[in-house]
Amino acid sequence: MTAKIGYDEVEVGTELPAGRFPVSRDTLVRYAGASGDFNPIHWNERFAKEVGLPDVIAHGMFTMAEAIRVVTDWTGDPGALVEYSVRFTKPVVVPDDDKGAVVEVSAKVAQKLEDRQVRVDIAATSDGQKVLGLARAVVRLA
């Protein structure tokens, strides 16, 4: 399968459709089961606070996965992803309430590369705080 977006259709500065991804404590428990990462900072409020966190936090890999969805949804093919990297800048704090947290993601084409590839720069925030830094993906387009 190839990306549905054509290389010739895209210019530097093209903004991808933004995404909003809710995160609840239930989400974290499900992710822990799927990933095998049962670190108590992701489910035990008392433990998280004992180690200096403000509350339970989302798994870094979960946050990273939610952020890249904006890019893979845009290409129409997760297999178009060639490269992806981020720096974790702040944790996504997930309170134990009816709202939880929301990861808000925006992205834009930063550079056209060779071999029908583009670099996409990604911004991810939660509660007004930048949670991923230097988040970049390279995708191969049709």
**List of residues 6+ apart from 113 with CB closer than 8 A:** 119, 138
Within 10 A of 9 (CB to CB), how many other CB atoms are there?
10
- Which superfamily, per CATH, for 7-22+60-140? Hotdog Thioesterase (3.10.129.10)
DSSP 12: T
Q: pTM above the 0.95 mark?
A: no
Work out the pLDDT band at 3, boundaries 50, 70, 90. confident
| Count, residues in the chain | 142
Q: For residues 64 and 42, give the distance between their C-alpha atoms in angstroms, rounded to a whole number.
A: 15
pLDDT in tens, 19-73: 999 999 999 999 999 999 999 999 999 999 999 999 999 999 999 999 999 999 9
Return the exposure string of 63-75: e unless at least 16 CB atoms fall within 10 Å of the residue's CB, then b.
bbebbbebbbebb
Sign of the C-alpha dihedral, residues 72, 108, 64, 28? negative
